[in-house]
Structure 1
Amino acid sequence: MNSITVGSPLSYAAIHHFGGVIKPKKAKALAFKAGGDSVFAKQVTIPARPYMGVSTDNAREIESAIGDFMKAVLQ
């Protein structure tokens, strides 16, 4: 194995990560509660809020962990 997959199995992960527009599939409007009030909307735009991936700090930590592992294996 020579690869790593980063992601989420959650059905709503992509819309939160990339953002997008949610529209009703079968109804005339989306219905949900916000602040205790009922809200009806023809569509809702969700802004991108990236959370998946590897930051520069993560990359350093991963490299360090791999280096430590390799040293332990090769001794």
Structure 2
Amino acid sequence: LLNRDRLQHLFQSKPYWIPDDDCSMCMLCNAKFSLLNRRHHCRACGRVACGACCKEKATLQYLKDDPKKVRLASLYKV
């Protein structure tokens, strides 16, 4: 897990998103993506993860114009 300072930095700026075509497996648990196991992008770091690894939600500063909670990779416990 990351420390609080690193988390705050991640939440302030939009990350580079890993392109879907570059990732056939979850970057956290290595589960293969399929029609049932969909890709999700972490809005904090841009990694591609499965639904099981991308359950956390938080409001991110860089999305201040649309202040809803968005999906985060589970390694960012908030």
* Common fold by TM > 0.5: no
Which is helix-richer, 1 or 2? 1
Which is strand-richer, 1 or 2? 1
TM-score, normalised via structure 2 length: 0.21
